Amino acid sequence: MSTSPTTLVSDSRPPQRRSRPAPILSIRKLSTAFPGAAGPLVLVDDISLDVGPGETLAVVGESGSGKTMTFLSAIGLLPSYGRIIAGQVILDGHDLVGLDDESIRRLRGTTIAMVFQDPLSGLNPVFTVGEQLIEVIRAHVPLSRREAKARAIGLLERVRIPDPSRRVNDYPHQFSGGMRQRILIAMAIALQPKVLIADEPTTALDVTVQAEILDLLSELQDETGMLVLITHDLGIVARHADHVAVMYAGRVVEEGAIDSVFSTTSHPYTVSLFRSIPHLEASVDAPLTPIEGQPPQAGSRRPGCAFELRCFLSAGRADCRTVRPALLSAFSPGQSSACHHWGELGAASARQIT
């Protein structure tokens, strides 16, 4: 008897993990809520992710999908009106959820650090970059000001700022956007964290500078531990990540090794992301295939699949409208999908990016 594509996975079977190193960062069933007029808005919804030594995890999705908020929650940098309502964040054996601010502050920078999206707003315009680096170093390490300045110069040299011993005395406005991003990276690695999170690190940079920043991050990942790369660019994911998690409406909808997700895509949203990307080999008049409709309002929860109204597989299917799909094993070991009908997809559905 043949098996229907939609019954290839039992509803009760959890994702089967590909063999990976024991994680240094393990996010388990994390949910974060913000107050709303009609009740709490859940912007991070039951997220589970692992990152092991030497890995680069890319977290992909449209703006508002919950990528950044997941990791702001994880490292204790939520706005004052947001709160974690469920889950754990295990970092090097410590559960960060529930720790007091001082304990989390000690771990931030020394064990985990984040490079933020906007390099201009991430630096204080009234202090030199050297003063800002020295402040970060001396907050955690008992060094004299002279010793901390020497380390700051070394960090600027490490991130390829020309003439670092002179430029350590310059102000942020005296640097280009790409150089400011390098300074933020220097601040993030100042205390040699085991986990580096880069949030859209190439936003507003030209293509050449983007490549330089990403190559630098890859080098640092090789030297210091592991990298979480938050991005919307699947081309960056293909070139720099080992593992990818695709987020939509605050949830992970597909996860797996890069080769699995790119060759046998198992969620219609990921397929739609691939189809919307322009390709160099295409003719100039070739039409793009945008994703129809709009993402749901942040924090809203539909009874069924959040992607149902925009999905090319959902037409006329009651389960898509009424039953929330669980994240279950898909085509390959370690690959998982939150789609009732992932079995109807395959290699032909995705477009390879190199």
pLDDT in tens, 228-264: 999 988 989 999 999 999 999 999 999 999 999 999 9
Give the span between the Cα atoms of 293 and 277, in whole angstroms.
17
H or E segment to which residue 57 belongs? strand 56-60
pTM above 0.75, yes or no: yes
pLDDT in tens, 159-212: 999 999 999 999 999 999 999 999 999 999 999 999 999 999 988 788 899 999
- Residue 29 falls within a domain, yes or no? yes
- Residue 208 falls within a domain, yes or no? yes
State the amino acid at position 49 in one-letter form. Answer: L
- Residue 310 falls within a domain, yes or no? yes
- Residue 131 falls within a domain, yes or no? no
- Residue 241 falls within a domain, yes or no? yes
- Residue 7 falls within a domain, yes or no? no
H or E segment to which residue 252 belongs? strand 251-257
**Percent of the chain scoring above 70 in pLDDT:** 92
pLDDT band at 151 (very low <50, low <70, confident <90, very high): very high
CATH number, domain containing residue 207? 3.40.50.300
Q: Which domain holds residue 30?
A: 23-122+195-281+288-349
Are the C-beta atoms of residues 87 and 47 closer than 8 Å to each other? Answer: yes
| Start-to-end C-alpha separation, the chain | 40
- Residue 43 falls within a domain, yes or no? yes
Nearest one of 50, 170, 168, 69 to 117, comparing CA atoms:
69
Question: What does the DSSP 8-state code read for residue 301?
Answer: -
Give, in order, the Cα–Cα distances in Å from 188 to each of 24, 208, 243, 249. Answer: 18, 22, 22, 29
| Domains of the chain: total | 1
- Residue 158 falls within a domain, yes or no? no
Give the span between the Cα atoms of 223 and 220, in whole angstroms.
5
Give me the phi and psi of 138, to 5 degrees please.
-75, -20
pLDDT in tens, 271-320: 999 988 887 777 777 777 889 888 988 878 888 999 999 999 998 899 99
H or E segment to which residue 89 belongs? strand 83-91
- Dihedral Cα 200, 203, 206, 212, nearest 10 deg: -30
Question: Across all residues in the chain, what is the average pLDDT?
Answer: 88
